[in-house]
C-alpha cells in the first residue's frame, strides 16, 4: 500500500560511480538483496548516521572507516540489520569489508558496510560472502534501478531521484545528481534516513560537501516521520566523484545546495508515500512560530499523534485531536486564542475555536483527499517549518505484527 502514482524516474548515470546488485538469499531466496557501489579514486564523501544509541555494527564500522580513509566501495545488504548482535556483529561487518577489499585490491578501511532488516539476528556471513563476486561483476554506471530495488525491505516500491543542471548558463556543461533511498517503517531519521545513497559528478572538497549534506538533510530526511521510531541502522551517504570537472566553490555553492535539496526532498517524500500501510501523504505545516525548534515541536507532535493519524486513516475530520496535539506540544506561553488551523485550505479553527465558516461537509471533503495539508498558524513569530507524515492504518499494525513471520 502506498500513495501517489508517480513512476520511477529516469536515473541519469553519474560518471565515476558504479553499482552492482545480486541476489544472495540472505532472507528470501531469489530476491535482490546485495549491492556494491564503486567510487572513483578521487571522490569525496560525506555521511550522516543514526542517533540511536543501539546503532548497528555496520554503522560503527562505517563511522570508524570514514574517519580515517576515503571510501572506494560501499557494501549494502538487506534481510538482516546486523544490529543488537554484539561483538560478533562487529566482526561480521569487518569481515564483509575485508572480503570486498580483497576482491578489489583496496584497503578494508576503504569499504563502508550498510545493513537493513531484522534486528538481533546473526548475519549469515557465508551466504553474503559467496554472493560478493556476482555483485562486483555487475558493477555498471547505469545500474541505479537494480540497486534501488536491491536495498528494499518492507518497501513496496523503489525510490529514486535524479536531475541535471547547468551551473553556468553560458556553458553546455551539466552537473548530475542521482540518488536512491529505502525506508517504509521505523522512520524518524534524526540525522539521516533508513538508507540513502546520493552521488554527483561535481568536484567539491570534503568540508564543503559535508556542509551541503547537513544543510539539505535538515530540510528533507530530518523532516519525515512514519511512526516516530528512529532506526538502529539509519545511514545517508553523499558522494562527489569530480568526474564532470566542474568545481563547486563559494561562488556556486548555493546553486548546488538548491539542486541537491530538490533530490533529497524527493527521496524523503518517497519514503513517506511508501510508509507502511499508508493511505495518506500528510504535510504538517506550522508558521508564526518564534523559532524553528518551536515550529518543529508542534509539527512533530501533530504528525506523530496516534489519534490524529487514525483520524486521517478514517478520513474523519475530527479536528479536536489536532488542537489537543498543538496544546500538549509544550509551547511556552502559547496564546490559544491566536491559533488557527486549516485542512487542505479549509479553515477549521480560528481564534482558538471552531471557525464560523467551517462546515462538517467541507472538513470531510478535505480529509477524503490522498494528499492532505494540515496548516497551523501560531501567530506569535515569523518562522515556519514543515514535517511530512502518514496516517496510521490497520495495515501498518499487520505489517509490523507479522514482520518476522
Based on the residue annotation, tell me whether 232 is a catalytic residue of this protein.
no
What pTM was estimated for this model as a whole? 0.94
- Report percent pLDDT > 90 for the chain: 86
Residue with cell 500528510: 282
Using the predicted structure, report yes or no on whether residue 1 has a pLDDT greater than 90.
Answer: no
Among the ranges given (2-11, 242-251, 341-350), the one the predictor scored with the smallest mean pLDDT = 2-11
Beta carbons of 201 and 16 less than 8 angstroms apart: yes
What mean pLDDT, rounded, does the chain reach? Answer: 94
pLDDT tier, 403 (very low <50, low <70, confident <90, very high otherwise) = confident
Asked whether residue 294 carries a pLDDT value surpassing 80, the answer given is yes
Task: Provide the edge-to-edge strand list for the sheet that holds 346-350.
Answer: 224-225, 383-390, 281-289, 371-377, 340-343, 346-350, 353-354
Q: What is the mean pLDDT of residues 189-200?
A: 82
Specify the higher pLDDT residue, 105 or 228. Answer: 105
pLDDT category at 277 given cuts 50, 70, 90 is confident
Q: Are β-strands 235-240 and 195-200 bridged in parallel, bridged antiparallel, or unpaired?
A: parallel
pLDDT of 366 higher than 70: yes
pLDDT greater than 60 at residue 372: yes
Task: Cell 464560523: give the residue.
Answer: 356
User: 162 pLDDT band (50/70/90 cuts)?
Assistant: very high
**Domains along the sequence of the chain with CATH:** 17-273 (3.60.70.12), 281-401 (3.10.20.340)
Question: In the predicted model, is pLDDT for residue 223 greater than 60?
Answer: yes
The answer on pLDDT for 396 being more than 90 is no
Integer CA distances (angstroms), 65 to 62, 69, 180, 205, 326, in order: 5, 6, 22, 18, 43
Name which of 161-170, 314-323, 394-403 the model is least confident about: 394-403
Cell of 95: 569481515
Catalytic pick among 193, 200, 279, 390: 193
Mean pLDDT of the 235-259 span: 97
| 196 beta partners | 181, 236
* pLDDT exceeds 90 at position 388: yes
pLDDT in tens, 38-62: 999 999 999 999 988 999 999 999 9
Give Cβ neighbours of residue 98 (< 8 Å, ≥ 6 apart). Answer: 108
Q: How confident is the model at residue 132 (pLDDT cuts 50, 70, 90)?
A: very high
C-alpha cell of residue 278: 499508508
Percent of the residues in the chain that have a pLDDT greater than 70, as a whole number: 99
Residue 191 predicted with pLDDT over 70: no
Looking at residue 134, its pLDDT comes to 98
Rounded average pLDDT over 292-313: 97
- Give φ, ψ of 225 to 5 degrees: -155, 130
Predicted local distance difference test score (pLDDT) of residue 193 = 57
Amino acid at each position: 500500500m502506498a500513495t501517489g502514482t508517480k513512476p520511477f524516474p529516469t536515473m541519469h548515470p553519474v560518471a565515476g560511480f558504479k553499482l552492482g546488485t545480486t541476489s544472495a538469499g540472505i532472507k528470501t531466496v531469489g530476491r535482490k538483496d546485495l549491492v556494491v557501489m564503486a567510487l572513483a579514486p578521487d571522490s569525496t564523501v560525506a555521511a550522516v548516521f543514526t542517533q540511536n544509541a543501539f546503532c548497528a555494527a555496520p554503522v560503527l564500522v562505517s563511522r570508524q572507516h570514514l574517519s580515517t580513509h576515503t571510501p572506494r566501495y560501499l557494501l549494502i545488504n538487506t534481510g538482516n540489520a546486523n544490529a543488537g548482535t554484539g561483538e560478533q556483529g562487529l566482526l561480521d561487518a569487518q569481515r564483509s569489508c575485508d572480503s570486498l577489499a580483497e576482491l578489489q585490491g583496496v584497503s578494508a578501511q576503504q569499504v563502508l558496510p550498510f545493513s537493513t532488516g531484522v534486528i538481533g539476528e546473526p548475519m549469515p556471513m557465508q551466504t553474503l560472502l559467496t554472493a560478493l563476486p556476482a555483485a562486483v561483476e555487475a558493477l555498471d554506471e547505469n545500474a541505479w534501478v537494480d540497486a534501488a530495488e536491491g536495498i528494499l525491505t518492507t518497501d513496496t516500491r523503489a525510490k529514486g531521484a535524479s536531475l541535471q543542471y547547468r551551473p553556468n548558463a553560458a556553458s553546455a556543461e551539466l552537473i548530475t545528481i542521482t540518488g536512491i533511498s529505502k525506508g517504509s517503517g521505523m522512520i524518524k531519521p534524526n540525522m539521516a534516513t533508513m538508507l540513502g545513497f546520493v552521488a554527483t559528478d561535481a568536484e567539491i572538497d570534503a568540508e564543503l560537501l559535508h556542509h551541503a549534506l547537513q544543510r539539505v538533510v535538515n530540510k528533507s530526511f530530518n523532516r519525515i516521520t512514519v511512526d516516530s521510531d528512529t532506526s538502529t541502522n539509519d545511514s545517508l551517504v553523499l558522494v562527489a566523484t569530480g568526474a564532470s570537472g566542474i568545481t563547486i566553490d563559494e561562488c556556486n555553492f548555493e546553486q548546488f545546495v538548491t539542486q541537491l535539496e530538490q533530490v533529497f526532498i524527493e527521496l524523503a517524500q518517497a519514503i513517506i508515500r511508501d510508509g507502511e500501510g499508508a493511505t495518506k501523504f500528510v504535510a504538517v505545516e506550522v508558521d508564526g512560530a518564534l523559532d524553528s525548534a518551536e515550529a518543529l515541536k508542534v509539527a512533530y507532535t501533530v504528525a506523530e499523534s496516534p489519534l490524529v493519524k487514525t483520524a486521517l486513516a478514517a478520513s474523519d475530520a475530527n479536528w479536536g485531536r489536532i488542537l489537543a496535539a498543538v496544546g500538549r506540544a509544550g509551547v511556552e506561553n502559547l496564546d490559544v486564542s491566536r491559533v488557527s488551523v486549516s485542512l487542505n485550505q479549509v479553515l477549521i479553527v480560528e481564534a482558538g475555536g471552531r471557525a464560523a465558516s467551517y462546515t462538517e461537509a467541507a472538513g470531510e471533503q478535505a480529509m477524503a483527499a490522498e494528499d492532505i495539508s494540515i496548516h497551523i498558524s501560531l501567530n506569535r513569530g515569523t518562522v515556519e517549518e514543515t514535517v511530512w507524515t502518514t496516517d496510521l492504518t490497520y495495515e501498518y499494525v499487520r505489517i509490523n505484527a507479522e514482520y518476522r513471520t
